[in-house]
Structure 1
Amino acid sequence: MKVKATITFNYNDESQAKVAFKSLQPDNIGFLESYRNHNSLVCNLKGESIKTILSTADDLIFSEMLVEKVLELQNK
């Protein structure tokens, strides 16, 4: 069975989306395709099972949470 999912992260502006895209890119090679769309980062996940997709999504969300913390520190 093939499973697909899309996760979209929305940011305050395009520069934050660009930082997130560049920060997450090394982690995502081979596991998902991502692109920026204005102030959003769109991540398309594909896998052979729900378990694989959930694992990839979990890793992605955890990594994005770190990016959010960096962006918060940058804005202080």
Structure 2
Amino acid sequence: MFDNMKIDAVITMEYENSKDADISLKSLDIDNKGYIESKKEYNIIHFSLKENSLRTFLSTADDLIFSEILVEKVIESASSE
């Protein structure tokens, strides 16, 4: 039934400024290489996910979002010092 399923999605994250987007992109790029393509446009990053399995897609998206939340906390912490 779902043997030929292909899932394509773009997750877009917008930051307050280009510097924060750079920090996030550099931090996330380490884990994402080979799994997620990313493109930065000033303060916005577009993450492109392509998977053949819903389970893998959801796992990859979950990992990306969880990692971004951690990066966001680091950025906030550094900004408040």
Scaled by the length of structure 1, the TM-score of the pair is: 0.96
Q: Which residue of 2 aligns with 1:28?
A: 32
Which blocks of at least 5 consecutive residues in structure 1 are unaligned?
Answer: none
Q: Which residue of 2 aligns with 1:38?
A: 42
Aligned residue for 2:39, secondary structure, equals: strand
The alpha-carbon deviation at position 51 of structure 1 amounts to 1.4
Q: Which runs of 4+ in 1 moved over 2 A?
A: none
Larger radius of gyration: 2
The letter for the 1-side match of 2:49 is L
Report sequence identity in percent. Answer: 49
2:23 aligned partner? 19
What are structure 2's unaligned runs of at least 5 residues?
Answer: none
Matched residues in 2 for 1:11 and 1:33: separation?
A: 18
- TM-score, with normalisation over the residues of structure 2? 0.90
- Counterpart-to-counterpart distance in 2, 1:6 and 1:40: 12
Deviation at 1:73, TM superposition (A): 0.7
Counterpart for residue 60 of structure 1: 64
Aligned AA (2:51): G
Superposition RMSD in Å: 0.7
Preserved CA contact (<8 Å) 1:33 1:45? yes
* Cα contact 1:35–1:41 (8 A) shared by 2: yes
Q: 1:9 and 2:13 equivalent?
A: yes
* Number of equivalent positions: 76
